[in-house]
Structure 1
Amino acid sequence: MNAVTGTVVAVLLSLVSAAGYALAAVAQSRLASASTGGRGALRRLLGRPQWWWAVGLNAAGALAHVAALHYGPLTLVQPLGALTLVAALPIGAYGAHRRVSRTEWRGAAWTLVGLVGLVAVTGPTAPDEALNLREALIVTGATLLLIGLLASRSRSRAGATTGLGHATASGVASGVGSALTQTLTAALARDLPGGPSGWWQTALLAVLIAAFAVGGLLLSQAAYRGGLAAPLAVVNLSNPAAAAVIGVALLGETFRAGAWGWVVAAAASLVAARGVVLLTTGLGTESPEAVTGTESGAVPSPRLDAVVPSDVTEALAVPEPVR
């Protein structure tokens, strides 16, 4: 396969990956909006077919992403993954019978620019390097402490802050899982040290990767209770940020373009933060006319009413709009 054909295939697979992740995020958001929480919430979630559809879509998106990296460079494939946010906004709005507000579109644009700028300067400079077992365990312990801190702070707050806290934890878990996956791949390619006992190191890394993958998925599910756009943006930002921290701190990597890379990364982070703020506040900026089927003078319906069963809607009916 020549370079042009490989690039085309990589782009197509990247678009498939972004669509899979976007559909999965929308499905998770709908499940979160209909969830009552409390004890047994996880058991009820695992018993819903929609949850397993979301899991399958996430898996399909991951496989398409890995396949795209096989045919195209990281500098091309990784920025295209940011299209997940662009695809998720209209899909989620369509399912909720509303239009995407201008503020949300601006927030998505700012976030995409920041994310692409961040990814452009944080690509690995030495992809054959990997964490050793001791470093992998240290990273695992530190990540678990950070996730626990973010989760505990999220439980003590309400609204969008809760969603963003869980979203940050989800992105960090996924980023660490990616770093461990790179370690496992490199280790298998050159055989793990330790002779006959090397198999248990491989098995341990596989277990850690699976745990972070499942944890990231469950944390994102919790994050979407605070909405879709802002948590999804934070997940997509904290993922490469966590991987970049590991690369710089432990693998001897550095930002591309040297010192200017640090400047670009800082500026991109500020731009992306501006986008997240707009996405967080943009959900309340739609006019009544922006909501499909809302008549003049009528009380707008909740955005996610299409995914809540009618009996639940009737039981929760109040004379004021649901916030």
Structure 2
Amino acid sequence: MHLFLPATLAVLSALLVATGTLVRQRSSTPTGGITRRWWLGVLIAAGGFALQAVALGLGTLLLVQPLIVLSVLFALPMEAYLDHRRLTFQEWKWGIVLTLCIAAFVLIAMPTPSESSPGPWVFVGTVVAVLVVLAGLVVGAKFVSLHYRALLFGSASGLLTGVQSFLVKGVTTQMGEGIAHIFVHPELYLIIVVAGGSVWAQQLAFAAHDLQTSFPAMTVMEPAVAMALGVLLLGERADVDVVEGVFAGGVLILMFYAVVVLAKHAAARETEFEAPPELVSANATGVSLGGTSRAGH
């Protein structure tokens, strides 16, 4: 399997997904409504989704999905530019850690595809189980603060997008038997349902809090769910021995942790912006608001 082309397409997809998500978040109203510019973000994100689908047709979920995490890294400088601020040292550090972890995992794992194809009821059962989990997250979001509500809705969106990637992989496999073949299987129609739910959850997350609170949660959940389904239901495997497997697993955990840390820094930044003026003034003279003082606002 050639890795370069699907990997390149996955990176380009991550860039378009980050751009489209940022445009949609900035174009949403405080109540989660949409504006005309929101549809531009949809078109950009759709382009990213198309590239991701092609990448999944050429490569494995274990290869493509970790690279999609780069969308977090792409979104950081774009959002900082729009907010007229500089990225902090911690943001740069964990962004670099994230990039190195993704590169290391792909180079070490060298994922290999599987010839197995689950039956249609496996896909249907997966979607039903995910919808049950989604309902639990939506109910739980009513009892938490806006910050955690954004995290829950972001997680729900990432969960659905991960299942969506799994379904897309199933559709691309069916296309080898002819385009008409995909219309007689449920995967294509399940994608429409899951994609709609993912966009809905995204909008609720955008309305609850800033982009960097919910976006990392979305981005962590998507590859975690898609890769797990790829291994458990599609039989994908990484070409590693025991030592390499343990190291690759550690790198994957560190990659997810880096995304979580970036989300925490975003939440701390938002808290600082919302702090009373006297506390902000004290912070400017060296008093920390629960952490190190920040520059570049």
TM-score interval for Structure 1 and Structure 2 normalised by the shorter chain: 0.7 to 0.9
Aligned pair count reads 273
Q: How does 1:53-68 map to 2 (within 5 A)?
A: 53-67=40-54
AA partner of residue 225 (structure 2): A
Unaligned runs of 5+ in 1: 193-197, 289-295, 301-323
Query: Matched residue of 2:113: which SS?
Result: coil
Residue 152 of structure 1, CA deviation: 2.1
**Structure 2: which amino acid aligns with 1:27?**
V
Please tell me the residue identity of whatever aligns with 1:221. Answer: Q
User: How far is 1:266 from its partner?
Assistant: 3.9
Tell me if the contact between 1:123 and 1:255 (Cα under 8 Å) persists in the aligned partners: yes
Counterpart AA for 1:208: L
- Against the structure 1 CA distance between its residues 93 and 158, is the aligned structure 2 distance closer, same or farther, given a 3 Å change threshold? same
* Distance in 1 of aligned mates of 2:120 and 2:105: 28
Q: How far is the alpha carbon of 1:16 from its aligned partner?
A: 3.6
Give the TM-score normalised by the residue count of structure 1: 0.69
Query: Is 1:19 aligned to 2:18, yes or no?
Result: no
Q: 2:121 aligns with which of 134, 140, 150?
A: 134
Which residue of structure 2 lines up, in the alignment, with residue 51 of structure 1? 38
Checking the alignment, whether the CA contact within 8 Å between 2:24 and 2:42 is kept in structure 1 is no
Question: Aligned partner of 1:229: which letter?
Answer: Q
Is residue 57–residue 173 contact of structure 2 (8 Å, CA) maintained in 1? Answer: no
Q: How is 1:155-304 mapped onto 2 (pairs within 5 angstroms)? A: 155-190=142-177, 201-202=184-185, 204-224=186-206, 225-260=208-243, 262-283=245-266, 284=268
2:138 — aligned with what?
A: 151
Look up the match of 1:28.
24
> Unaligned stretches of 5+ in structure 2?
273-279, 285-297
Per-residue displacement from partner, 1:43-68 (whole Å, max 9, x unpaired)?
x42xx212211110111112233445
SS at match of 1:99: coil
CA distance in 2, matches of 1:89, 1:221: 19
Flag the 1:77–1:176 CA change in 2: closer, same or farther, 3 A: closer
TM-align CA RMSD = 3.7
Shift of 1:104: 2.3
Closer, same or farther in 2 for the Cα pair 1:109/1:157, shift >3 Å? farther
1:55-91 CA distance string (max 9 Å, x none): 1011111223344567888887655433322221111
Q: Are the counterparts in 1 of residues 164 and 191 from structure 2 also a CA contact under 8 Å? A: yes
- Kept after mapping to 1: 8 A contact 2:65/2:223: no
In 2, the alpha carbon distance for the partners of 1:156 and 1:234 equals 19
Q: TM-score, normalised by structure 2?
A: 0.75
Q: Which moved more, 1:121-130 or 1:152-161?
A: 121-130
Q: Is the radius of gyration larger for structure 1 or structure 2? A: 1
- Identity within the alignment, %: 25
Cα drift, residue 14 of structure 1: 4.7
Larger mean CA deviation between 179-188 and 48-57 belongs to 179-188
Cα deviations across residues 111-142 of structure 1 (Å, max 9, x unaligned)?
44445555667775334432211111111111
Query: Are the equivalent residues in 1 in contact too, given 2:217–2:260 (CA < 8 A)?
Result: no
**Residue identity in the other structure for 2:230:** G
1:211 to partner: Cα distance: 1.4
